[in-house]
A and B are shown apart, each in its own frame.
Chain A
Amino acid sequence: QVQLKQWGAGLLKPSETLSLTCAVYGGSFSSLYWTWIRQSPGEGLEWIGEINHIGNTNYNPSLKSRVTISVDTSKKQFSLRLTSMTAADTGVYYCVRGAMPVPGTFGGFDSWGQGTLVTVSS
């Protein structure tokens, strides 16, 4: 049973940089996409981006200029960095596993971290 546990600062000032890290316990770390998804208060889900175990990334075009996702395969961890934070970035940030029931076929986001509430306020 895979578990994702995430941590990072939850209170930021405008213009600061968000840094979150997620550790994966159990299951394989390879051949999967590791993803960050956020949710503004009372709103829907927004995909931030993803990385695989060899460091290939895809980012949401609306956030691409501010986002970096990195991976440390030896520690089975991946991280999110989002620069120039504003109040509009306030919300719950989740680290998520993208399943692959068959090689090369995305099987949905099947394991989620506990979420980190990030508040941007002066």
Chain B
Amino acid sequence: SYELTQPPSMSVSPGQTARITCSGDALPNQYAYWYQQKTGQAPVLMIYLDSERPSGIPERFSGSTSGTTATLTINGVQAEDEAAYYCQSTDSSGTYVMFGGGTKLTVL
């Protein structure tokens, strides 16, 4: 079955850049989306259509794709960015929604 693969965890110091990757065979043909989920809260859409940022999302969050890998980049990480981040896309047919397993970002 089709999967999206993310690293389970990563840590970064405040002010540094975090790059969270998401790998999937259908990503060259399907858009990637990214969500932030803080403990006890519902997820929040951070990036859509690979690289678009919804209104209200800080400019330090950006998205990109290259081949089978989508990347969420957080420039100048802040303590408030500590959360789980999930990538999302669809299968090659575009019918079925898939989520990556999530990456827990720790701000040291």
Q: Taking beta carbons and an 8 Å cutoff, which residues of A are in contact with B?
A: 35, 44-47, 50, 58, 60-61, 94, 99, 101, 105-110, 112-115
Interface status of B14 (Cβ within 8 A of chain A)? no
Interface residues of B (CB under 8 A from A): 31, 33, 35, 42-45, 47-49, 52, 54, 86, 88, 90, 95-102
Query: Once the chains bind, are B98 and A107 in contact (CB under 8 Å)?
Result: no
Determine whether the beta carbon of A47 is less than 8 Å from that of B97: yes
User: Which residues of A are found within 8 Å of B49, using beta-carbon distances?
Assistant: 101, 105, 107-108
Evaluate contact between B99 and A109: CB separation under 8 angstroms.
Answer: no
B42, A47: Cβ atoms under 8 Å?
no
In angstroms, Cα B35 to Cα A108, docked, is 9
User: DSSP class of B's interface residues: helix, strand, loop or mixed?
Assistant: strand
Q: Is the CB of A109 within 8 A of B35?
A: yes
Known pairs A107-B48, A107-B49, A113-B42; A44 contacts B95 (CB<8 A): no
Chain B residues within an 8 Å CB radius of A106: 31, 90
Tell me if A112 and B42 are in contact (CB < 8 A).
Answer: yes
Point out the residues of chain A lying under 8 angstroms from B99, CB to CB: 44-47
CA distance A98 to B43 in the complex (A): 13
Whether the Cβ atoms of A108 and B86 lie closer than 8 Å is no
From residue A45, how far is it (CB to closest CB) to chain B in Å? 4
- Are B45 and A58 in touch, CB under 8 angstroms? no
A110 to B49, CA, bound (A): 12
The verdict on A45 contacting B43 (CB below 8 Å), with A60-B96, A61-B96 known, is: yes
In the bound complex, residues from chain B placing their C-beta under 8 Å from that of A113 are 42
A45-B99, A47-B99, A94-B42 provided; 15 other pairs, C-beta below 8 A?
A35-B97, A44-B86, A44-B99, A44-B101, A50-B97, A106-B31, A108-B88, A109-B33, A109-B43, A110-B45, A112-B42, A112-B43, A112-B44, A113-B42, A115-B42
> Which single residue of chain A is at the shortest CB-CB distance from B54?
A110
